[in-house]
Copies of this chain bind each other. A is one copy, B any other.
């Protein structure tokens, strides 16, 4: 039978270029208190989670983002007992963190409860961490949680949407200073830091702000097919540890985690930056 359904999801950089994928079916479209949420079915990438018009997760995304934002700091910190995720509503990062037996508690502070509910329904394998007794879900504005709380963490991850609109403040120096204060003296922050290919102005700003607060800031990158330009970056920020010199390769070997992207060689290689990326910091 001739295929007559011809619906596409396209996500463009400044309206000019980007990623496009054929949609088989719009599974569900919702409006939460904070944003529009779409679940789309595709042949090439499986199910998609779209928040605020941005593609967040897909069945066949190879999981690079979630593995890289979590395992890089957790295998660097020698004893990561308490972890905090700001954002991270699809629970992918939470699930990865709780694969580490050293972690005794992982707080996830997500503003939008509906994202967690939708993810549990449509991406059950991504959200298994939410049912772990060590997971503590808090539905609150991340900025308020950081500013008003007192207890400290070994590792904090900023798993945020793009620095436009409501999330913008969470990429500024005052917020980073408050995050710094919620970290133990040997704490590590990892922040998603946008595409070094498409979002060069944002990237420069984020790193200038982080370097004003943290003594040690290193960019690392991964291939992430569903994110803009498919090339994504993270900022590793620490008070004490070096992401390569202090990488505990023996612990990685011992744990034998099943991953789709991360491994010991990738941990180190991810910090090698092409010249056009280094150029952003000159």
Q: Which residues from chain A sit less than 8 Å from chain B, CB to CB? A: 10, 12-22, 42-45, 62, 64, 197, 221, 223, 225, 229-231, 259-263, 265-266, 268-276, 278
* Distance (whole angstroms) from the CB of A66 to the closest CB of chain B: 13
Main secondary structure of the interface of A (DSSP, over half): mixed
Q: How many copies of this kind of chain does the complex include?
A: 2
Pick the contact of A274: B62, B272, B276 (CB < 8 A): B62
Q: Collect the chain B residues with CB atoms within 8 Å of residue A17's CB.
A: 19-22, 42, 44-45
Pick the contact of A20: B10, B44, B260, B263 (CB < 8 A): B10
Pick the contact of A223: B14, B231, B266 (CB < 8 A): B231
Whether B276 contacts A260 by the Cβ 8 Å rule is: yes
Pick the contact of A275: B21, B263, B272 (CB < 8 A): B263
Contacts beyond the supplied A17-B44, A259-B275: 15 A-B pairs with Cβ under 8 Å: A12-B20, A14-B44, A15-B22, A16-B21, A16-B22, A17-B22, A18-B19, A18-B20, A18-B21, A64-B274, A197-B225, A229-B230, A262-B274, A265-B272, A269-B269
Q: Collect the chain B residues with CB atoms within 8 Å of residue A275's CB.
A: 259-263
Whether B265 contacts A273 by the Cβ 8 Å rule is: yes
Whether B274 contacts A266 by the Cβ 8 Å rule is: yes
C-alpha gap A257/B235 in the complex (Å): 28
C-alpha gap A223/B18 in the complex (Å): 15
Q: Collect the chain B residues with CB atoms within 8 Å of residue A62's CB.
A: 197, 274, 276
Interface centre among A22, A268, A272 (most CB of B within 10 A): A272
Interface centre among A45, A225, A278 (most CB of B within 10 A): A225
